[in-house]
Amino acid sequence: MSSPAPTDAPAPRPVLTVKQAQRARAPWIAMVLSTLMVLGIAAAVLLMNQSPATPPRADRVDVAAAAATVPQEEGDLPALAPQVPEGWTSNYARLTRLDGLPTWEVGWVVTETVFAGLRQSAEADRTWTTLRVGTAPAVGTVETDGITWEHFTPQGTDEQHLVARTEGGTVVLTTTGDRAVLEDLARAVAKEIR
């Protein structure tokens, strides 16, 4: 005997009672309510624990005190400690040897993205200066309180430099900002030299 041919009729749809339908929806409702409750608790915690205000930056290095410790036998280097504009933060002041020469270095944070620096050596020659500012020729000069500075803007970098030869040796000023930052630093150095 042969079996009856299969039919393509859809399977009968189960009939659920009201209680069965409620139980079928319960996991989804519980999941949505749990998610909303967790988000609410997280929002409350974030609102109650706001981050504290950032304290203003204080000078991390006292440049004048560090300059006073530079021994004078180090090439008779009168270490400069210029009074920079309000808001600049010094982050290092040190005597080091660059290319074998005693060098006084100071660095300042001007803004979050702009930095300024000073390098000074009593024994600097043209090679020492070239290693600080690059091989590109000077693009001009800047006159500040009787001191003539050569202005350098090396290609491939956002740095600018001013270089002057004074009684205390060669001074190289550097910034990652605009020329106004360099000129502010040059005026401060000029006041320190006089």
What is the pLDDT confidence band of residue 1, given thresholds at 50, 70 and 90?
low
Give residue-wise pLDDT tens across range 5-14. 666 777 888 7
Residues 6+ apart with CB under 8 A from 80: 67, 104, 106, 118, 120, 168, 171, 189, 192, 193
Q: Does the pLDDT of residue 18 top 70, yes or no?
A: yes
d(CA 48, CA 144): 53
Single out the residue of 113, 143, 117 nearest to residue 132, CA to CA.
117
Decide which of 143 and 27 is more confident: 143
Strands 147-152 and 140-144, by their bridges, are: antiparallel
Asked whether residue 59 carries a pLDDT value surpassing 60, the answer given is no
Model pLDDT, residue 110: 93
pLDDT of residue 20: 79
- Give the separation between CA 188 and CA 194, rounded to whole angstroms: 10
Under a CB-based contact definition with an 8 Å cutoff, are residues 70 and 106 in contact? no
Q: Is the dihedral of CA 140, 180, 61, 134 positive or negative?
A: negative
Q: Is the pTM of this model over 0.95?
A: no
Q: What is the pLDDT of residue 194?
A: 72
Residue 148: what pLDDT? 93
pLDDT digits (tens, 9 = 90+) for 142-167: 998 889 999 998 888 889 999 998 87
